[in-house]
Amino acid sequence: MRSDTITGSKAGITIAAMAAALMSVLDISIVNVALSDIRASFGTPLDQIAWVSTGYMMANVVVIPMTGWLQRRFGFKRYFTGSILLFTAASLLCGLAWNLPSLVVFRILQGVGGGAIIPTSQAILFARYPREEHGMAGALFGLGAVTGPLLGPTVGGLLIEAASWHWIFLINLPVGLFAAYMAWRHIDQPDFAPTQDKVDRYGIALLAVGMAALQFVLEEGTRKDWFDSLEITLLAVVAAVALITFVVHELETPQPVVDLRVFANVSYTAATGINLIVGTALFAGSFLFSLFCGTVMRYSALDIGLIFLKGSFIQLLLMPLIGRFGGKMDGRVLVGTGIVGMCLSLWVNGHLSTTADEAALILPVFIRACSLGMIFVPLSVMALSNLRPEQRGNAAGLYNLTRELGGSIGTAWMSSALNRTTKVNYTALTSHVDPYSQVTQEQVASLKAAVGARVADPLSAAYSILSQRINGQALVRAFNANFTVLTAIFALSLVLVFLLKKPAAGVKVEGAH
């Protein structure tokens, strides 16, 4: 791209970017709520239904790093509008899918379009808004991006309850067509000239193979017992070889599809590292909290969605305030405060028990929502402000990729760790239960009396209930332990805050999220 200047209606461009970001992010969280219904509709085995999410994410992580090059190749207007239309068309096909393979294929198409929307929509906002309004531009984009996860579980639950799972995809049609229309009408790039760089075919191929293999390993590793599975082992080797070769190739080729030299900038590298840890803690924390509410507290999917909605609603008010006034403060202070707040949120999560009421469950979600508002906007500005203009589109894609990878790593890690720590705690607890002790005998006698005439073998039923209670306590301890580990890991990101630099005065910044 020879010029990053964008003209056109600021309001129209803002609406297009926010609507597209909302649609793209909403789709990720809304699908997770519908997996059980999709599985029942197609009669799909439990170990295969995850492909509905995995296929999307694999396409997503392949496209995101290439967005800078694709923007230079096609221009913001054509690339952004085309991505929205591809996402919308794929959504229609997903809603009409007739079996699991067809749905997975259409979800991959969705991922190709969706992977471009997030980094490109914010890049457009930052290119259209003047330098002194970049904080507000980031905040407006953040509103669209955070509203998706905020509303996704609730909207998904309501759509499935009122109609069917097909509507979680079909609802994208009016939003997508509206966003594409607004983008095509209002985005204008008068001095755009397509890049004449030679297509880096080897780089694209290595990136596609490596990232797709890595994402598959992260998504499916837990379900397939990690390296006990030959498939996971082979794909891990493929991912390692392809990505290492990709890094070497990109550093040596004069016209790389992904310019990795951007990591020579210390502030950008530090911000990207923080973003990776934010993704790990955010997605893994949400994963653990949702499981805690479902398995320990016995909340329904809709009730869990409402907990997130009530706790996170403050973000809709906080984002514009930070965008408006955040520029008057040192961004490093805001980011550091946000990290401390996230640690507090995870620490509170790590001390929940089976007696927690709704207010106790909402509290850590509320603290996290406030903390993320202080991290997202200033961190993205500090990540990209000191880079050369021609580096920023590429850097924005890599910046977004780190959060996605952090989320995949964190979710896979916590899923495996939860299973392992539950078993460890169950063994530890049962080792202290003496079947001949007076306390145990009293418990068994009480349970026998409770189930009495309702079962054929009251003694076996009593021991079964006792085992379930011990397992429940082991599960709570496992959740608490893993939240504590996340707290410690996230606290380490404070070290990287000291490597961040203030945005250079008068520098025009392109997108990140």
pLDDT band at residue 466, thresholds of 50, 70 and 90?
low
Query: Predicted confidence band at 109 (pLDDT cuts at 50, 70, 90)?
Result: very high
Write down the pLDDT at residue 447: 59
pLDDT beyond 50 at 507: no
Confidence of residue 126 (pLDDT cuts 50, 70, 90): confident
The model's confidence at residue 84, banded by pLDDT at 50, 70 and 90, is very high
Angle between helices 458-491 and 438-451 (to 10 degrees): 120
pLDDT for 480 equals 92
Burial of 416 (0-12, 13-18, 19+ CB in 10 A): middle
pLDDT grade for 486, boundaries at 50, 70 and 90? very high
The mean per-residue pLDDT over the stretch 418-424 comes to 85
Query: Which amino acid does the sequence have at 177?
Result: L
CB environment 78-113: b (16+ within 10 A), e (fewer):
bbbbbbbbbbbbbbebbbebeebeebbebbbbbbbb
Q: What is the pTM of this model?
A: 0.78
- The DSSP H or E segment spanning 347 is helix 331-349
Does the structure show a pLDDT above 50 at 513?
Answer: no
Higher pLDDT, 221 or 82: 82
Q: Give the integer Cα–Cα distance in Å for 55 and 21.
A: 20
Of 128 and 338, which is predicted with more confidence? Answer: 338
363 vs 248: CA distance, rounded Å: 46
Q: Residues 145-174: what's their mean pLDDT?
A: 78
Statement: residue 147 has pLDDT above 80 = no
Predicted local distance difference test score (pLDDT) of residue 454:
66
- Residue whose C-alpha is closest to residue 189's, from 512, 510, 513: 510
The per-residue pLDDT for 460 is 63
Which pair of tokens denotes residue 348? 């509170």
Instruction: Please indicate whether residue 384 or residue 1 has the higher confidence score (pLDDT).
Output: 384
pLDDT digits (tens, 9 = 90+) for 302-333: 787 788 888 888 877 787 777 676 667 788 89
Percentage of the chain lying above the pLDDT 90 cut? 18
Question: What is the rounded average pLDDT for all residues in the chain?
Answer: 80
CA distance 390 to 47: 44
Kindly report, residue by residue over 203-212, the tens digit of the pLDDT: 888 888 988 8
Please state whether 505 falls in left (phi above 0), alpha (psi between -120 and 50) or beta: beta
129-142 per-position pLDDT tens digit: 776 676 676 677 66
Burial (CB count within 10 angstroms: exposed 0-12, middle 13-18, buried 19+), residue 309: middle
pLDDT at 3 over 70: no
Q: Would you state the pLDDT for residue 131?
A: 65
Block residue for tokens 């990209």: 384
Across residues 420-439, what is the average pLDDT?
A: 73
Which pLDDT belongs to residue 465? 63
Q: Which DSSP string corresponds to 246-257? A: HHHHHHH-SS-S
> Would the pLDDT of 508 be above 50?
no
Confidence category of residue 459, pLDDT binned at 50, 70, 90: low
Averaged over 377-394, what is the pLDDT?
Answer: 75
Please give the pLDDT value at position 394. Answer: 76
**What pLDDT sits at residue 509?**
41
What's the CA dihedral at 44, 50, 52, 53 to 10 degrees? 170
Comparing 71 with 278, the larger pLDDT belongs to 278
